[in-house]
A and B are shown apart, each in its own frame.
Chain A
């Protein structure tokens, strides 16, 4: 238990780990949905503190990783057009499209800008009325309300030169898709805390019941995750499958009503492809008819694009929890943060990047080839 000293409260961490060991009498597999939680688990070696057989499966909750290649390619095409200011969060800069990324476009003279908030992009549009300003709106239920508000404002203030390239995804349909997969090994879920800060917990009891799977709403800090694991294991041992909120300081059952109302106004659900996974029915949001004018896909007519995904990259299986990152032959050799084949190697919330950063010396496939180079 050498990692325990690194916890903010080592005594409490030790207590929780002890409780998990005392509770688990069988092997159990549970999935943390959120990429932020994956990062914490790998960084702190939480999975290595668990009893033998109790396993964390990393889920598809990295928004950068699951953004479909087709949307990335559309972003790259729009960003290359003269007169366009293309705004994005920083973690999208190096996500590979079919052959290039936003970083490359900026290096070649394109006007790509990093913003902290989508409202910054709207302000740019107000300040540059002769330019088209496009914001790359990706992410889960946590990021969707800010983007919804930005489009609402664009309409309210009558800002015609702003648009949103939108590719939002929703967690509950993804949980459902995972449970329906014939290869599913997941017996319990740690649900993403901040998604539930917005959406509340109302969508989960039906899922927990239908698939007889415990769902524990969990935060992102190491102690939060240990507490979430303990509650999940306790339910599994008792044969229970209910929704529990282990992140009460930030999650209310009703979520954030104002944010939910805005989502309902601005977006409508749609089928969405997830990078590496494929189409999940009703798993996404797009702008509703009333806001179509602010939809970059319509404005720029980039509706059909031929994409070219790496044939070596197995990030789809990583995202579905079917393999661990180092089981992919390209991990740490052909695929590194410097030359990523898939998005899971780019984002700090991606499982491959987390393993590369914190685990590559422990993973035989990568360590044995001498692929661990300096400077990355």
Chain B
């Protein structure tokens, strides 16, 4: 959770009066709040933490970090099947209604 992941802004929109956008994390695309970086532009890179863009990043650093995080499996931990991970860790069956991909 402490991890913040770099990504590239691919879309910017306004939603309920708030600056929102889509950010591409090396293939995984997520909705991200851009309100804290009011002048961030499409195509720029940013560090995203729990769905919020917190700081700009240059492209080269972003690419290198993303590659490293992918290698370390950190992206899976950030975006992956959290109930599955917890169930595996607990050595128990996943709770009903938490099938990966279903609305949890």
In this assembly, does A1 line the interface, its C-beta being within 8 Å of a C-beta of chain B?
no
Nearest chain B residue, comparing its CB with the CB of A120 = B51
Residue contact B51 to A106, C-beta cutoff 8 Å:
no
| Contact bitstring B21-37, A, C-beta under 8 A = 1, else 0 | 00000000011110111
For B71, B86, B104, the residue with the greatest tally of chain A CB atoms inside 10 Å of its CB is B86
Contacts of B72 in A (CB 8 A): 43
A119 within 8 A of B: yes
Q: Give the A-binding residues of B (Cβ under 8 A).
A: 1-4, 16-18, 30-33, 35-38, 47, 49-52, 54-55, 57-58, 61, 64-65, 67-68, 71-72, 77, 79, 82-83, 85-87, 89-92, 95-96, 98, 104
A249-280: which residues lie under 8 A (CB-CB) from chain B?
249-252, 256, 258-259, 262
The docked-state distance in angstroms from the alpha carbon of A259 to that of B18 is 14
**Interface residue count on the A side (C-beta < 8 Å):** 56
Main SS of chain A's interface residues? mixed
Listed by A's residue number, 25 A-B pairs whose Cβ atoms lie within 8 Å are: A34-B2, A35-B2, A61-B2, A93-B83, A93-B86, A94-B90, A103-B86, A106-B95, A107-B92, A117-B50, A119-B31, A142-B4, A142-B49, A145-B52, A146-B52, A149-B36, A153-B16, A156-B16, A192-B2, A194-B4, A194-B49, A197-B4, A256-B37, A346-B89, A349-B1
Q: Determine whether A140 belongs to the interface, using a CB cutoff of 8 Å to chain B.
A: yes
Nearest CB of chain A from residue B81's CB, rounded to whole Å = 9
Most buried by A among B35, B50, B86, B87: B50
For residue A230, give the distance in angstroms from its CB to the closest CB of chain B. Answer: 19
Q: How far is the CA of A94 from the CA of B94 in the complex (A)?
A: 12
Question: How many interface contacts (CB-CB < 8 Å) are there between A and B?
Answer: 135
Whether A221 contacts B91 in the complex (CB less than 8 A), given A114-B104, A194-B4, A258-B35, comes out as: no
By a beta-carbon cutoff of 8 Å, the part of chain A in contact with chain B is 8, 34-36, 43, 61-64, 89-91, 93-94, 103, 106-107, 113-114, 116-120, 139-140, 142-143, 145-146, 149, 153, 156-157, 192, 194, 197-198, 220-221, 249-252, 256, 258-259, 262, 337-338, 346-349, 375-376
Q: Are A338 and B91 in contact (CB under 8 A)?
A: yes
A259 close to B54 (CB less than 8 A):
yes
Contacts A145-B52, A157-B16, A197-B4: A90 and B57 contacting too (C-beta < 8 A)? no
A103 partner residues in chain B, CB cutoff 8 A: 86-87, 90, 92, 95
Find out whether the CB atom of B2 lies under 8 angstroms from the CB atom of A140.
yes
CB-defined contacts of B3 to chain A, threshold 8 Å: 36, 220
For A94, what are the chain B residues with a Cβ–Cβ distance below 8 Å? 86, 89-90
Tell whether A146 pairs with B95 under 8 Å between CB atoms, given A249-B61, A250-B57: no
**Residues of B contacting A149 with CB < 8 Å?**
33, 35-36, 52
**Which residues of A lie under 8 Å from residue B92 when comparing CB positions?**
103, 107
Check B1 against A119 for contact (C-beta < 8 Å).
no
Residues of B within 8 A of A197 (CB): 4, 47, 54-55
**Would you give the shortest CB distance from A28 to chain B, in whole angstroms?**
25
Instruction: Report the minimum CB–CB distance from A173 to chain B (whole Å).
Output: 18
A60 to B4, CA, bound (A): 18
